[in-house]
Amino acid sequence: MSQNRQELLTRDAECYAGERLRVARLNYPPRWVTIGISSMCTNHCTFCSYHSLDARDGGSNVYGLKYVMPLVRFKSQVDFFHAGRVPHVHICAPGEPFLHPDIMAMIDHVIARYGKASFQSTFNRVVMARGDYLSKILDRRVQISYIVTDIQAGEATGHEAIKRGSSFADLLTTLQILSDAGIRIIGNFIITRENHANLPGLINTLYKHGIRLRLNVENLFPHMFNEFTAMENVYHLGDRDIAASLQEARELAKATRESIELTLPTPFGDPVARCSVFWDKIQIWPVKGVDPARYDENLVPHACNAVVRGDMNSLGYVSDYPDVMALWNNPKLVALRTKILAGEAPDRFCWSCPCGVALKGSGLDKVSGPAF
């Protein structure tokens, strides 16, 4: 990396520290861009707003939207964000990235631009075998910054009940191979009132199998299309049973001597939670209501309820902007930041979000039922 680029990246990081949640028009580019490359998936995870069978009639704005991002479009977007000094792009999908026929070319393009690449997968055995993808990942082990996957329990029944269509045994085998190769793994565990007791067992299983990873314990985005995604299943401040599971998990993770690194969730109702996504990152994702021909360049914050249930279907299209700063300071994004700084909610569905509930106009006044 040239000295000039390094100096600019350092300056951007300083601006981020000074401007985050303070000003609406920013002097630094997004810290992170997630590029969703395709909607094809082998799973129907219970919580998934795109593929859960319950999402179909459950009010999801994204269920069943079909698209595949062409390689040429992917490359031009990576080049655009790299030229705009976005420090990190992440390959993801409202689906399984390894179902995209050009996935390895995409990973290699990110490596060519950034030196490293990160991506998401559920490691379906048939899909991975079809492209000999595990060997190809291992060949690039030095250039892979990390791989993200979901893991919902330390045994098959609990995991597969939530990650419908996936195989716990296959996932565990793959994680062992990746961990033995020294590849950094990030496991996402969504904690709820229903499944919090799975967490200690998960840590025990990972440790027993010698798998090193960072385990992100995350609160649920309650999309409200089935019992798992109901408001009543969300981890709230004061949930003693969940606090006890988290404490047990903390102690178990500590005993692994850093094999398992744990990050903890923000409970619903936490008074210090703030919506900071519009200062941090942006994502390319399809949403109902935008031009389907532009799904592969449609910008959203992430898959929160403002997008999945509310009215936030587009923050712009990548190719409409001459550079990253024009995109990042577009009128929609500046207006959203201005609202949040004034204590107002960006969307009528923010009441259902741990970091939006306290904002004025979050819609909470129109909601009956959920116990906060």
- Nearest residue to ligand SF4, using CB? 356
| Bridge partners, 360 (sequence order) | 344
Site map (CB under 6 A) of ligand SF4, residues 13-42, x = contact? ----------------------------x-
94 touches ligand SF4 (CB under 6 A) = yes
C-alpha to C-alpha distances, 289 to 209, 292, 307, nearest whole angstrom: 45, 8, 11
Question: Shortest CA distance to 101 belongs to which of 70, 122, 61, 74?
Answer: 70
Please report, as residue ranges, which positions from 47 to 76 form the binding site for ligand SF4 (by CB under 6 A): 48, 50-51
- Which residue of 30, 36, 95, 97 would you call a contact of ligand SF4, by CB under 6 A? 95
From residue 297 to residue 316, what is the string marking binding to ligand SF4 with x (rule CB under 6 A)? ----x--xxx----------
Instruction: Determine whether 173 is exposed, middle or buried from the number of CB atoms within 10 Å of its CB (0-12, 13-18, 19+).
Output: middle
CA distance 111 to 89: 10
State the minimum distance, in angstroms, from the CB of residue 26 to ligand SF4: 17
The closest alpha carbon to 187, from 161, 154, 157, belongs to 154
Per CB under 6 A, contacts with ligand SF4 among 249-308 are 275, 277, 301, 304-306
d(CA 327, CA 315): 9
Helices (H), 151-291: 156-162, 168-180, 198-208, 240-255, 277-280
Contact criterion met (CB below 8 Å) for 290 and 313: yes
Q: How far is CA 238 from the centre of its chain?
A: 26
Q: Binder to ligand SF4 among 353, 358, 363, 364 (CB under 6 A)?
A: 353
Q: Which is nearer to ligand SF4, 206 or 353 (CB)?
A: 353
Residue 110 found at the interface with ligand SF4 (CB under 6 A): no
Q: Which is nearer to ligand SF4, 286 or 301 (CB)?
A: 301
Which of the ranges 136-144, 313-321, 327-335, 343-351 carries the binding residues for ligand SF4, by CB under 6 A? 343-351
When asked if residue 347 is in the footprint of ligand SF4 (CB under 6 A), the reply is yes
**Using the rule CB under 6 A, which residue among 175, 350, 358, 364 binds ligand SF4?**
350
Interacting span for ligand SF4 (CB under 6 A) from 24-32, 259-267, 284-292, 347-355: 347-355
Cα separation, 65 vs 5, whole angstroms: 38
DSSP H/E element including 120: strand 117-120
Please identify, among the stretches 72-80, 203-211, 316-324, 353-361, the one whose residues bind ligand SF4 according to the rule CB under 6 A.
Answer: 353-361
108 vs 344, which CB is nearer to ligand SF4?
344
111 burial class (0-12, 13-18, 19+ CB within 10 angstroms)?
A: middle
Q: In the complex, which residues of this chain contact ligand SF4 (CB under 6 A)?
A: 41, 43-45, 48, 50-51, 94-96, 122, 275, 277, 301, 304-306, 346-347, 350, 353, 355-356
